[in-house]
Amino acid sequence: MNQHDSGGPRSPARRNLLRAGATGAVTLAASGALSRPAHSAAQAGDANVSVAIDGKYETVPLRADVLRVTAVQSIMRAIRDTKNPKREMQANLQHMIDLIDAANGFPGRQHLVCFNEQPLSGWNTWTREESLRISIEVPGPETEALGAKAKQYGCYITFGAYVRDRDWPGHLLLNGILIGPDGKVVANHWKTNNMRGFRPDWDIFTTSIYDVLDRYREMYGEDEVLSIARTDIGNISCSVTPGQPDIVRAMAMKGLELRLSSSSGGYNVEEAQLMSAHNRLWTVVCNQSVSPETLGFPEFSGAGDTAIFGPNGKAAARARSVHEEFVTTAIPIAEFRRTRSIPPGVPMEMLLPVYTKYAPRHGANMHSSYIPADSADASRYYASRKNW
């Protein structure tokens, strides 16, 4: 969800309606009164979706022909005291600030500094209630502190975080956040959709756009479902959704140029390379370093492999270790944009008959009437709502 939407601030009536609906969802959860949501495909097709028909796409003028980009492969320190997380959260925030200073120090000023999926809270197998206590608001004190650094150096900063939103009470969000060189939040991109059936008796319970799709569309409009921040360093998605080639392809059709993917616990390198090449994108995948301070997990836990992939799918820069490290490259964004169009050869007339009849195993709006309390509860709930 972009913060600088052209539609202006949300109306009080819409906020109140949403809050009433979300409160009702939690009440339904407590009472066990579940209703299977209707398939939401009929609501798709908004004429205002920003997809060009002439191969070109919407942009804003670039601030520089070549972008200096640093992906920070940094430690993840999981909050231990979830009832009083302020001190540990502040320590993690300060570590981010120190690394932003360092990235803009000896290497020179950067246009973009990227962090992993959870640099503020770390990650552990918390319940939803515990996770909400260590989540942040956007904007909030943490984004203000990072915004001061972005303003100091004239750079963009992106990172992932657990987020709570007053318009979505009870929902735990996992968002990709982009702060601009003016110190303000440019984009607060929700995770688009979650993998279901993650492993037996354990599942992800964060609320993605797909989990509340109808209400999200009503609030923000169809164009924000697959949101792109059109900035003076390029058209950006702050992705916290690994894989998802169909999602990335659709965003490429909307003019995506830089996919800033924050990760934790590793990712599929070959898949990221393929999606960059298939869609002619620049991709920054920022993963965590070896992290010895998380209870219940070994130090490694999928660390390393932070990388920046070019539109040919080759690594322009890649971490050389699993330790804290800067992965830095120069992206010739102006030259890239001069020769780029949206994907030119997708045979939509052949694909749409299949796509429109396809029924996914788990439908949309899974969290419209119930929000799982923890990962075990999520696993039981999603298993009960399968289409096939």
Distances (CA, A) of 369 to 21, 42, 74, 203, 386: 9, 20, 37, 18, 15
Reported as a single tens digit per residue, the pLDDT across 245-272 is 999 999 999 999 999 999 999 999 999 9
In contact, 162 and 129? CB cutoff 8 Å: no
pLDDT of 242: 84
Residue 42 lies in a domain: no
CA distance 140 to 55: 39
E strand or H helix that includes residue 14: helix 12-31
Residue 209 lies in a domain: yes
Q: How many domains does the chain have?
A: 1
pLDDT of 44: 45
* pTM (two decimals): 0.88
Reported as a single tens digit per residue, the pLDDT across 279-337 is 999 999 999 999 997 888 999 999 999 999 999 999 999 999 999 999 999 999 999 99
Q: What single DSSP character describes residue 285?
A: E
Reported as a single tens digit per residue, the pLDDT across 337-377 is 999 999 999 999 999 999 999 999 999 999 999 999 999 99
Burial of 194: CB neighbours in 10 Å, binned 0-12, 13-18, 19+: buried
Residue 1 lies in a domain: no
Residue 36 lies in a domain: no
Reported as a single tens digit per residue, the pLDDT across 6-47 is 333 333 333 333 333 333 333 333 323 222 233 333 344 456
Residue 26 lies in a domain: no
Residue 72 lies in a domain: yes
Count other C-beta atoms under 10 Å from residue 7's C-beta: 13
CA distance 230 to 58: 8
pLDDT of 53: 84
Containing structural domain, residue 366: 51-384
Report the CATH number at residue 237. 3.60.110.10
